[in-house]
Amino acid sequence: MIDEKGILFILSGPSGVGKGTVRKALFERDTELKYSISMTTRPQRNGENEGIDYFYRSKQVFEEMIENNKLLEYAEYVGNYYGTPRDYVEETLNSGKDVFLEIEVQGALQVKENFPEGVFIFLFPPSLEELKNRIISRGTETEDLVTNRLLAAREEIEMMDAYDYVVVNDKIETAVSKVQSIVRSEHLRRERVAKQYKKILEADLG
Ligand SMILES: Nc1ncnc2c1ncn2[C@@H]1O[C@H](COP(=O)(O)OP(=O)(O)OP(=O)(O)O)[C@@H](O)[C@H]1O
Ligand SMILES: Nc1nc2c(ncn2[C@@H]2O[C@H](COP(=O)(O)O)[C@@H](O)[C@H]2O)c(=O)[nH]1
């Protein structure tokens, strides 16, 4: 059967590498993509908004979501839960629209088990030093949390081989263009496969 569902894109990589920055710039260029807003138990930061940056929920509510199988994936990351609400992703893909997830590595690996046809992109820092500078300069974490996020980053980078694409986020505009090219080429590839499939079906049916 020809697949008319949207494509699931997963942008992942260590904290502070620039996933949010790249995703926001990409969405200014490609208005057809749909962003899946995650749920988290971490406290809301200054400047963040409920239902735009995250759905901020208590640990109890989050654990009920897990029990009721309402999350496509979830992970405990540096002391807090983060997860992807299942219904939005499935409904949006079924309506033929592409969905973009911006999540850490443990969660991305869970998605890969359930959606092997997803497109997995790993955003890579120019160096660990630069990664540290970016987390610090964002000014959202205490010193301890910066250290914990950098420790997590080392483990996450080791999982990079599981991804379909690796994009270095050195210059922001270059990184965004590369991710945009991945989105376009995945569409072209799927259109080609669909056409070939149609030809085979027509030949089979005479
Ligand atoms: N290419 C870049 N060059 C310089 N600074 C950048 C670049 N990309 C992002 N930054 C800066 O690095 C900091 C971290 O970026 P951002 O918040 O997008 O990272 P993130 O991967 O989404 O982090 P987290 O996973 O913790 O949410 C921000 O201050 C952002 O402005
Ligand atoms: N597994 C998931 N990871 C997620 C999700 N939403 C965000 N994240 C990632 O968590 C870390 C920390 O985020 P921060 O906002 O506290 O800096 C970062 O890597 C995010 O990409 C999710 O739904 N699932």
- Ligand 1 atom, smallest distance to 140 CA: 26
**Phi, psi for 32 (deg, rounded to 5):** -85, -20
* ipTM of the complex, rounded to two decimals: 0.98
User: Could you tell me if the CB of 23 is within 6 A of ligand 1?
Assistant: no
DSSP category for residue 162 = G
Mutation test residue for ligand 1: of 42, 124, 134, the one with most atoms within 8 Å of CB: 134
Output the residue whose Cα is nearest ligand 2's atom 13: 15
In tens digits, the chain (206 residues) has pLDDT values of 556 899 999 999 999 999 999 999 999 998 899 999 999 999 999 999 999 999 999 999 999 999 999 999 999 999 999 999 999 999 999 999 999 999 999 999 999 999 999 999 999 999 999 999 999 999 998 999 999 999 999 999 999 999 999 999 999 999 999 999 999 999 999 989 888 988 898 888 76
On whether 13 is known to bind a ligand per the annotation, the reply is yes
User: Could you tell me if the CB of 156 is within 6 A of ligand 2?
Assistant: no
- Tokens for 88, please give them: 């939005």
pTM of the full structure: 0.95
Domains of the chain: 1-33+98-206 (3.40.50.300), 36-97 (3.30.63.10)
Nearest alpha carbon to residue 78 among 18, 149, 30: 149
Cα–Cα distance, 91 to 128 (Å, whole number): 38
Nearest alpha carbon to residue 138 among 4, 43, 46: 46
